[in-house]
Amino acid sequence: MSFFNDTEFDSIAIKKMIVHVVGGKQDFAPQPALPVDEDPHIAFFLARIVDAAVSPVHKFDEKSATSELLKEMATGGKTFEEGGQELARRFKLDHVGSSSGGAFFVFELGTDDPKTSFYSLIKYDYREAVELYAKDGKNAFRQIVQAFVKEKRAIQKSCIIRVKDGVVEGEVSAFDRMGEAPDLTDYFQKFLEVRRDRDTKELSDRLSTVLRDTLRDCKNHLPGNDAKLALNVTKESLSGRDTVDDEAIREAIFVAAGRPTEDIRAEIDKSLGRHLKSQKLTGVSFKPDPRTLRRAPRIKVRTAEDVLIEYPGEQEDRAVTRTKDERGGWVITIKTSEALVEDDFVGKRAGRGA
């Protein structure tokens, strides 16, 4: 739901829909728009659209034909049915031969704001299913050849765009199951005519902000109330992953928090969801930048008096603080939470006299 603001989410509804079969060798056959008001399954499809509404990472190219066609549909230059058929025809025309068949849906959605509308394009898997039903008072089975299931993995490709006052906004909520997230496959990117708007460095920087703010909110639930230590543990856990997403972030925070109870997990979840949305990372999968998420290096300080201090970088401004005095020297303060672990003479170095 991160693509929709709270007001939109509370009133979002499907106004129109059309579906075409894609894949296979049969010629393209334009289909009429489907009735929405009488369809008892419309809530099923609305839930799938909301599930697919990831934060936008792409923008339309300036001369995107898909964007122009959606604008025509929004402003009345083409009817919804004409535009939906044209989008499906273009999608099928260049459909990769090795791609699995499925259904290509086009939805028009509205909200309580008459000036704002949305268009959702979804390529959905066909699934074969066997249904259990009652026949003559006994259980029986029947096969359903073209079934649509709730699993998010059943959605192969998705795109959601917003239109305000007849203007198609540039930001595109899109994902592609076959792409290397958050990138789209070449085919789908060419069809939409979009480009990446946020690179991996920016996404990783935003992730760091999400982690910091979430752990700060939940400081009282962390071991030793230490948000900085939990932040470093979480970053270290995520930096080695091939990709990160909402679930990976959530699990890493739970581990850093000492695997808390369900009520505390719910509180952390609420804070995490809020910060993911504010940083436009909800539902976004990407390969993290290890330089952004890596732990701080160890710091070594040697004074003019040959005093050597070495400590973990994450303890800067925590256990170790440094301030300048009025004469230009430094005051280095070390605070420990418990007794000293080691307090002894340094052994003699080889080759030195007594």
pLDDT (tens digit, 9 = 90+) per residue, 266-301? Answer: 999 999 999 999 999 999 999 988 888 876 667 888
CB atoms within 10 A of CB 297: 9
Residue 1 has pLDDT above 60, yes or no: no
The pair of structure tokens assigned to 174 is 């899109």
Q: Give residue 128's pLDDT.
A: 58
Mean pLDDT, the chain, as a whole number? 86
Nearest Cα residue to 288 out of 212, 220, 176, 206: 206
Q: Give residue 206's pLDDT.
A: 95
Q: Give residue 23's pLDDT.
A: 72
Residue 354 has pLDDT above 60, yes or no: no
> Averaged over 244-267, what is the pLDDT?
93
Phi first, then psi, for residue 14 (nearest 5°) are: -80, 125
Helix extents (H) in the chain: 6-11, 42-51, 65-75, 80-93, 186-192, 200-217, 227-239, 246-256, 262-278, 290-293
Could you identify the residue written with the tokens 């230009």? 328
> Averaged over 322-332, what is the pLDDT?
86
Q: Give residue 155's pLDDT.
A: 86
Phi first, then psi, for residue 68 (nearest 5°) are: -65, -40
Residue 150 has pLDDT above 70, yes or no: no
Half-sphere exposure of 329 (CA within 13 A, CB side): 6
Q: What predicted TM-score, i.e. pTM, was given to this entire model?
A: 0.75
Nearest Cα residue to 163 out of 110, 107, 90: 110
Nearest Cα residue to 314 out of 300, 298, 301, 337: 298
The pair of structure tokens assigned to 306 is 């040959």
Residue 101 has pLDDT above 80, yes or no: no
The rounded percent of the chain whose pLDDT value lies above 70 is 86
Q: What span, in angstroms and rounded, lies between the C-alpha atoms of 7 and 162?
A: 14
**More confident call, 132 vs 74:** 74
Span of 45-54, 117-126, 136-145 with lowest mean pLDDT: 136-145
Dihedral sign from CA coordinates of 320, 323, 327, 328: positive
Q: Give residue 73's pLDDT.
A: 96
Residue 22 has pLDDT above 90, yes or no: no
Span of 78-87, 173-182, 335-344 with lowest mean pLDDT: 335-344
Q: What span, in angstroms and rounded, lies between the C-alpha atoms of 207 and 284?
A: 11
The rounded percent of the chain whose pLDDT value lies above 90 is 51
Q: What span, in angstroms and rounded, lies between the C-alpha atoms of 337 and 353?
A: 38
Could you identify the residue written with the tokens 């992953």? 241
